[in-house]
């Protein structure tokens, strides 16, 4: 099943949309691979230039948001990162505390210096204490980048005429074990959807009782990358609450009646 990008078609490309051939849409598809395992043995370089294995970011038993961008992208990648940070500022969970974020450049020619500059910009915008330990911007060689992108169904194409990449947009929620849990397409993300996605990816290890109740009533629709209200579940839960409340009322009334009888007998 293919992800439908929420952005307008011209925003998908750095080049003129009139120059895009029909077969190129398939070449830059964003294919959902739910439950796919991300290869954790891949090596990248973090924002300090240190070589690091992907599995090192999955040792804290926390869900992780993955964003695939390139740092010198003239338009769409900036929109993705802006949309992500705007969303995360409205999510009660904090990066570095309940979950982590990994931003990876798919342009193998970009350096950690660019990654560090981007990281500083978005950490300043996010402005939460634990984020420095939880949000990392990586660069890498062509092969590990391609392997990571393939594992999550993200495809991109370099255009030598414009020296830019054509690609789709979106973010991916991974489980603490590195499995693909949820896709959120486009460049703007609903805080409610991302919050519930993180709760599910963590196997309910994060989130409040309210979040868990919400997950009983809402269901993730992979075709649109959104959580929707499931009316049948709401009705069932409502009926269950009604039956419970009625039973509780009957029990209280019955208990009161017995107490009143005992008191009356004691007076005679």
In a domain, 245, yes or no: no
pLDDT band at 260 (very low <50, low <70, confident <90, very high): low
Q: Which residue has the higher pLDDT, 267 or 92?
A: 92
Map residue 88 onto helix, strand or coil.
helix
Q: What single string gives the DSSP state of each residue in 115-159?
A: HHHHHHHHHHHH--TTHHHHEEEEB--HHHHHHHHHHTTB-EEEE
Range picked from 53-62, 119-128, 240-249 for highest mean pLDDT: 119-128
Straight-line distance from the first to the last Cα atom of the chain, in angstroms, rounded to the nearest whole number = 78
Q: Phi and psi of 99, rounded to 5°?
A: -155, 170
- Whether pLDDT at 248 is above 60: no
Q: Give the mean model confidence (pLDDT) for residues 57-67.
A: 94
Q: Give the mean model confidence (pLDDT) for residues 214-226.
A: 84
pLDDT band at 155 (very low <50, low <70, confident <90, very high): very high
pLDDT band at 210 (very low <50, low <70, confident <90, very high): confident
**Domain count across the chain:** 1
Considering the chain, what is the average pLDDT of its residues?
Answer: 83
Q: How far apart are CA 225 and CA 221, in angstroms?
A: 6
In a domain, 129, yes or no: yes
Q: Which residue has the higher pLDDT, 248 or 138?
A: 138
Q: If residue 265 lies in a helix (H) or strand (E), which one and from where to where?
A: helix 231-267
Q: How far apart are CA 83 and CA 75, in angstroms?
A: 12
Q: Give the mean model confidence (pLDDT) for residues 19-25.
A: 54
pLDDT of the residue at 118: 97
Q: Give the mean model confidence (pLDDT) for residues 165-194.
A: 95
In a domain, 39, yes or no: yes
CA proximity to 204, closest of 193, 214, 212: 212
Write out the residue range of the structural domain in which residue 139 sits: 9-201
Q: How far apart are CA 48 and CA 113, in angstroms?
A: 8
Q: How far apart are CA 175 and CA 38, in angstroms?
A: 10
- Whether pLDDT at 10 is above 90: no
- Whether pLDDT at 254 is above 80: no
Nearest-10 crossing angle of helices 76-88, 112-126: 40
CB 122 within 8 A of CB 81: yes
* DSSP summary character for residue 4: P
Task: State the pTM of this model.
Answer: 0.78
- Whether pLDDT at 244 is above 80: no
CA proximity to 168, closest of 149, 151, 181, 182: 149
pLDDT band at 266 (very low <50, low <70, confident <90, very high): low
- Whether pLDDT at 251 is above 60: no
Q: Phi and psi of 248, rounded to 5°?
A: -65, -40
Ranking 74-88, 134-148, 247-261 by mean pLDDT, the lowest is: 247-261
pLDDT of the residue at 24: 61
In a domain, 255, yes or no: no
In a domain, 67, yes or no: yes
Q: Which residue has the higher pLDDT, 65 or 247?
A: 65
Q: Give the mean model confidence (pLDDT) for residues 224-239.
A: 61
Q: Phi and psi of 185, rounded to 5°?
A: -80, 170
In a domain, 196, yes or no: yes
In a domain, 130, yes or no: yes
Ranking 33-37, 117-121, 209-213, 236-240 by mean pLDDT, the lowest is: 236-240
Count CB atoms within 10 A of the CB of residue 259. 10
Percentage of residues of the chain with pLDDT beyond 90: 61
Helices (H) and strands (E) in the chain, counts: 8, 11
**CATH number of the domain to which 192 belongs:** 3.40.30.10
pLDDT band at 219 (very low <50, low <70, confident <90, very high): confident
> Dihedral angle at the C-alpha atoms of 155, 159, 163, 165, nearest 10 degrees?
-20
In a domain, 238, yes or no: no
Classify residue 35 as left (phi > 0), alpha (psi -120 to 50) or beta. left
């Amino acid at each position: 099943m293919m992800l439908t990008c929420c952005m307008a078609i011209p925003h998908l490309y750095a080049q003129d949309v009139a120059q895009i051939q029909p077969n190129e849409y398939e070449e830059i598809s964003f294919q959902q691979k739910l439950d796919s395992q991300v290869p954790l043995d891949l090596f990248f370089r973090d924002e300090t230039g240190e070589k690091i294995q992907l599995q090192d970011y999955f040792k804290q038993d926390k869900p992780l948001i993955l964003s695939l961008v390139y740092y010198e992208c003239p338009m769409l990648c900036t929109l993705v990162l802006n949309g992500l940070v705007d969303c995360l500022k409205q999510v009660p969970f904090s990066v570095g505390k309940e979950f982590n974020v990994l931003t990876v450049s798919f342009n193998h020619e970009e350096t950690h210096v660019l990654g560090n500059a981007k990281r500083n910009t978005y950490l300043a915008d996010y402005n939460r204490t634990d984020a420095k330990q939880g949000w990392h911007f990586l660069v890498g060689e062509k092969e590990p980048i391609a392997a990571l992108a393939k594992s999550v169904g993200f495809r991109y194409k370099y255009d030598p005429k414009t020296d830019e990449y054509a690609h789709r947009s979106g973010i991916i929620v991974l489980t603490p074990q590195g499995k693909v849990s949820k896709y959120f397409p486009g460049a703007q993300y609903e805080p409610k959807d991302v919050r519930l996605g993180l709760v599910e990816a963590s196997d309910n290890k994060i989130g409040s009782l309210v979040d868990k109740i919400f997950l009983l009533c809402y269901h993730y629709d992979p075709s649109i990358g959104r959580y929707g209200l499931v009316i049948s579940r709401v009705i069932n839960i409502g009926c269950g609450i009604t039956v419970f409340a009625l039973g509780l009322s009957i029990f209280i009334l019955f208990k009161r009646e017995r107490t009143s009888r005992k008191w009356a007998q004691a007076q005679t």
